Structure 1
Amino acid sequence: MTIRVGLAAILGMVLLAGGAVAAQERGRVTDLPLPRFVSLKSSEGNVRRGPGLSHRIDWVFKRRNMPLQITAEYGHWRRVQDRDGAGGWMHYSLLSGVRTVLVEAEDVALYRSPSAESRIMARAERGVIARLGECNPDWCRIVAQGQKGWVPKAVLWGVSPDDLRQ
């Protein structure tokens, strides 16, 4: 009997520990998952050293719809980073929940369906920003400059490997 109770207690601790690891961190302000992807709403966005107007501007992001990753929240400020890990604090009004991605491979085919065996509808060059659509475990549907198609998730920045979207 004690062996069963001991095994049950150990199993319970393992499940609790696994649940704690699996639980995703949430933002203190929005209660949304952290990290998460967003996009730059405007054509320019100041990136500050800290969360507030009194902090120095380190640089300015200048690509409208550029995907960014939010890693922290403080009041109306969000700590963001780009695909290179460069970032800082931006006011939330400069960010949009519209999901976009950045094509990271040199010449990416956009397929009619989520299969490399399907017809190629268009091609995208490295650095193209596209609107993110549906995603399955390996593929995402994107729209870039009026062209639509499915691309392997691995060639995109702005989507997590475990992102599933309908």
Structure 2
Amino acid sequence: MARGQIKSWVMRSGICAAIVAATALFSLSSATADQPAHFMSVRMDGVEGRQGPGADQRVAWLYQRAGLPVMVLAEREGWKRVRDPDGDEVWMRSEDLEARRTVYVREQATLRRTARANGQVVAYLMPGVIGAVTRCDGDWRRVAVGGRIGWVQNASLWGGECAGLDQATRP
């Protein structure tokens, strides 16, 4: 093969590679753009968060808290791209997540019997506590933690968005 032919072939290969990469990027974005972000929770202790969607991707984090809420940002072939309460984004296998809604207490919060600032105190929640969430009432979330059920102001929580909450489910 002459030198000019090799250069031409390399340029065509580069163009083909660019087309393939663009197609892959388009299919990834279309596969992930179908659903708005929503919350799920980590199914069990020891779930791996990987840098990309695949078992061959490097493990970035090992999640040791079953029930930890995560925000699902994208989905691709049995994998979900998630954001954790610290803001880190990783890919997890879909089977390692469950639809059960939980919240993460970001700052000390008061669990109250009613959804009012003057409601009777049920418990004080420390940062890092995880609880099941089932209902919304304005800026308040109905949360179950350690056998106690009450209302917490959403400003103290991560994962307390109302969209997708199953009102029929009770903790």
Alpha carbons of 1:104 and 1:40: their partners in 2 closer, same or farther (altered >3 Å)? same
Give the whole-Å Cα distance in 1 for the aligned partners of 2:165 and 2:38: 13
Alpha carbons of 1:159 and 1:54: their partners in 2 closer, same or farther (altered >3 Å)? same
The alignment partner of 2:155 has SS state of: helix
**Alpha-carbon shift at residue 105 of structure 1 (Å):** 1.4
Give the whole-Å Cα distance in 2 for the aligned partners of 1:73 and 1:29: 7
Contact 1:43–1:63 (Cα < 8 Å) also in 2:
yes
Contact 1:38–1:68 (Cα < 8 Å) also in 2:
yes
**Alpha-carbon shift at residue 137 of structure 1 (Å):** 2.1
> How do 1:88-107 and structure 2 match up within 5 A?
88-106=90-108
The alignment partner of 1:93 has SS state of: helix
Question: Aligned letter for 1:69?
Answer: M
Q: What is the aligned residue count? A: 139
The alignment partner of 2:60 has SS state of: strand
Contact 2:134–2:165 (Cα < 8 Å) also in 1:
no
Q: Does 1:129 align with 2:130?
A: yes
Aligned to 1:142: 143
Q: With structure 1 as the length reference, what TM-score do the two structures score?
A: 0.76
> How do 1:60-99 and structure 2 match up within 5 A?
60-99=62-101
Contact 1:45–1:62 (Cα < 8 Å) also in 2:
yes
Aligned to 2:56: 54
The alignment partner of 1:159 has SS state of: coil
**Alpha-carbon shift at residue 34 of structure 1 (Å):** 2.1
Contact 2:32–2:74 (Cα < 8 Å) also in 1:
no
**Alpha-carbon shift at residue 102 of structure 1 (Å):** 0.5
Give the whole-Å Cα distance in 1 for the aligned partners of 2:82 and 2:152: 25
Q: Does 1:113 align with 2:114?
A: yes
Alpha carbons of 1:103 and 1:154: their partners in 2 closer, same or farther (altered >3 Å)? same
Unaligned runs of 5+ in 2: 1-28
Post-superposition CA distance 1:114-164 (Å, at most 9, x none): 001221111111110000121122100100111111011111101227777
Contact 1:68–1:81 (Cα < 8 Å) also in 2:
yes
* Identity fraction in percent: 34
**Alpha-carbon shift at residue 28 of structure 1 (Å):** 6.3
Aligned to 1:151: 152
More helix by proportion, 1 or 2?
2
Q: With structure 2 as the length reference, what TM-score do the two structures score?
A: 0.74
Give the whole-Å Cα distance in 2 for the aligned partners of 1:32 and 1:84: 25
